[in-house]
Amino acid sequence: AQSVAQPEDQVNVAEGNPLTVKCTYSVSGNPYLFWYVQYPNRGLQFLLKYITGDNLVKGSYGFEAEFNKSQTSFHLKKPSALVSDSALYFCAVRDWMDSSYKLIFGSGTRLLVRP
Amino acid sequence: NAGVTQTPKFQVLKTGQSMTLQCAQDMNHNSMYWYRQDPGMGLRLIYYSASEGTTDKGEVPNGYNVSRLNKREFSLRLESAAPSQTSVYFCASTHLFGGVEGSPLHFGNGTRLTVT
């Protein structure tokens, strides 16, 4: 089965500094990878996805993610963090089970951006 | 355009009580999902419905049942609630998840359930 791991429970960064939220994956075949963000008391919102093509994927709110096949990683990045980026971030992989696709989520990483 | 709507937003149950969580989407999506979110465990799939008329078990189906009432609605039922079912429940939908483009999931705002 496919899986993703988010090794950091929390990431702290100062506003204006670059941020990275890490994700590694374990899949058979070509991975379909996603990043979602969750703000307090809300559902998850889609940020970006990697299906195929360029290894650098751009998404919403200035976020981007770099797919690295040799390191089996899909880290989320932003050049300059904002306080409003503080939220819970989930990496996910699409899995094929029982003739249907599903999303398998990592455990989440809390991002805190301090002013 | 409301997207995915979940009701209720909050619920407190006593052990052994039953309840149904409601979910409706207005995006004409084919596939719908129920996840639960627990601290440190991310989201775990309870049940899903790949298309109208079909339902299947996910990772943690025990203690739950579902009904895909029509294309818009997908309900989750707890027949006899247990404290271990205290969680935040999210419904999600997508248009054609098995498609080449990998359609993203659209989530509701969740139902926070406490079982005492």
Contact assignment for B106 to A102 by CB distance below 8 Å: no
> Cβ B107–A43 below 8 Å, yes or no?
yes
Query: B50 to chain A nearest CA, in Å?
Result: 7
- Shortest CA gap B33–chain A (Å): 9
| CB contacts < 8 A (A, B) | 63
Instruction: Measure the CA–CA gap between B104 and A36, rounded to whole angstroms.
Output: 9
Question: Do the Cβ atoms of A111 and A85 come closer than 8 Å?
Answer: yes
Q: Which CATH number fits domain A3-114: 2.60.40.10, 3.40.718.10, 3.30.1180.20, 3.40.50.720?
A: 2.60.40.10
Phi, psi of B112 (to 5 degrees): -95, 115
Q: Tokens for A61?
A: 């709110």
Q: What is the pLDDT along chain B (116 residues), one digit of tens a residue?
A: 679 999 999 999 999 999 999 999 999 888 899 999 998 888 999 999 988 889 999 989 999 999 999 999 999 999 999 999 999 999 999 886 545 456 788 999 999 999 99
Q: How confident is the model at residue A75 (pLDDT cuts 50, 70, 90)?
A: very high
Residue of B nearest to A43 (CA): B109
Q: Which two tokens stand for residue A29?
A: 């075949």
Q: Could you give the CA distance from residue B25 to residue B32 in angstroms, rounded to a whole number?
A: 9
Q: Which two tokens stand for residue A71?
A: 């390191």
Mean pLDDT for the stretch of residues A3-26:
96
